[in-house]
């Protein structure tokens, strides 16, 4: 029997403030971070009966310890959702939360779910990327991929080789702007609207409260970045200042079909248009957003000029600039990451996809003249992911 697909909408999204590894969340469990996000989603949307949640998908790159045991299910239970609500775990490295969204969104479009929660968590201070893994020796011995593919910083240096026009000065200038934009967004109270305050504990310092992103360095200058070491290559271009750090944090988003959202009185903040994941050479994984975006645009029948709001994950500045250069977009285009990005806020791997979506939803609310926007990110082992969204507040008129 033929089936009719349904419209999928982004209802709401929240996140914890992001922390530095061994920083404010050093003695906080990873699952408690994502539980906090799920509870906050339910608190912010009281018209949603808990039993109407049909699925909870939670991503983590390192699925061991307090990020293991099918964390979507355990987090759902510990969040106070009914035992009837199922859950699962998902892994696509940096795009874990993005994949949790697209996977549950597909179920909503098909009619299997009406409402779903999707998010991600990464406690890199407790579980460094790659902890406990055992890569198949064929990867090296048979040269299936270049060994550089297993070290993200080396893949960023390789991307610099592919784009010689992206100089050290350009990536450092981009990083400074990211810090400045994030500081301005905090000063305007924009970022805080979707943050969940988290109580923290320390055996030495007692209890605290995480209210803002710990990695921010608002005083960053070109001069200070110029003095940093290039750990992945002698005389290279990638430094701790023009890349995202090693971070802890969690995110969660509420998704629904549009009819159910209207029925329950839930806000409709974005409408899903298309999504795509694509593979590239693993040793230049930062190029992944380019083919993923091209494919998603083709699926949607759109061109890059139709996109007026961008949230690009800043794993490395070179990766963002390669994307912009490919599509003929200026380094300082105001449509791109207006609130800053991961270089300033942090990038707790599997959680970051929903941060991009939450910030794009905020862009849509502030800019009703914008119809289409996208969220995109590179993914370890040579992939990219892009999701295109439509602004339900679109008026067609300049604000």
Cite the active site residues: 94, 347, 378
User: CA 216, CA 51: separation in Å to the nearest integer?
Assistant: 38
DSSP state of 191: G
| Secondary structure percentages of the chain, helix, strand, coil, to 5 | 40, 20, 40
* DSSP letter string, 42-95: HHH-TTS-GGG--EEEEE-SS-SGGG-S-HHHHHHHHTT--TT--EEEE-BTBT
Q: In 3D, which of 267, 270, 293 has the Cα closest to residue 280?
A: 293
β-pair type (206-210, 198-202): antiparallel
Angle at Cα 243 formed by Cα 118 and Cα 338, nearest 5°? Answer: 65
193-225 b/e with 16+ CB inside 10 Å = b?
Answer: ebbbebebeeeeeeeeebeebbbbbeebeeeeb
């Amino acid at each position: 029997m033929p089936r009719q697909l349904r419209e999928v909408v982004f209802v709401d999204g929240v996140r914890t403030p992001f922390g530095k590894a061994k920083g404010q969340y050093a003695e906080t469990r990873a699952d408690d971070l994502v539980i906090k996000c799920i509870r906050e989603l339910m608190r912010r949307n009281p018209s949603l009966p808990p039993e109407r949640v049909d699925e909870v998908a939670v991503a983590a790159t390192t699925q061991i310890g307090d990020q293991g045991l099918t964390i979507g299910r355990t987090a759902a239970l510990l969040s106070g959702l009914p035992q009837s609500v199922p859950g699962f775990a998902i892994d696509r490295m940096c795009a874990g939360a993005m994949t949790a969204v697209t996977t549950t969104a597909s179920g909503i479009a098909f009619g299997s779910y009406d409402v779903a929660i999707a998010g991600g968590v990464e406690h890199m201070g407790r579980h460094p990327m790659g902890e406990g893994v055992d890569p198949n020796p064929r990867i090296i011995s048979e040269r299936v991929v270049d060994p550089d593919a297993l070290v993200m910083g080396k893949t960023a240096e390789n991307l610099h080789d592919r784009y010689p026009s992206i100089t050290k000065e350009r990536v450092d200038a981009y990083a400074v702007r990211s810090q400045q934009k994030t500081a301005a967004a905090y000063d305007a109270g924009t970022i805080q609207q979707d943050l969940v305050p988290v109580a923290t504990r320390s055996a030495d310092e007692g209890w605290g409260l995480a209210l803002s992103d710990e990695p921010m360095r608002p005083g960053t200058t070109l001069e200070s970045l110029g003095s940093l070491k290039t750990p992945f290559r002698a005389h290279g271009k990638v430094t701790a200042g023009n890349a995202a750090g090693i971070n802890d944090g969690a995110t969660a988003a509420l998704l629904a079909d549009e009819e159910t959202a209207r029925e329950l009185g839930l806000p409709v903040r974005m409408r899903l248009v298309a999504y795509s994941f694509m593979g590239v050479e693993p040793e230049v994984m930062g190029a992944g957003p380019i083919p993923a975006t091209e494919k998603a645009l083709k699926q949607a029948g759109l061109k890059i000029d139709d996109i007026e709001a961008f949230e690009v994950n800043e794993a490395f500045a070179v990766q963002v600039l390669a994307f912009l250069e490919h599509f003929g977009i200026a380094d300082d285009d105001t449509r791109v990451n207006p609130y800053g990005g991961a270089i300033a806020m942090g990038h707790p791997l599997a959680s970051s996809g929903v941060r991009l979506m939450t910030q794009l939803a905020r862009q849509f609310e502030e800019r009703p003249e914008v119809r289409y926007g996208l969220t995109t990110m590179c993914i370890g082992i040579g992939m990219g992911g892009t999701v295109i969204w439509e602004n339900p507040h679109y008026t067609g008129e300049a604000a």
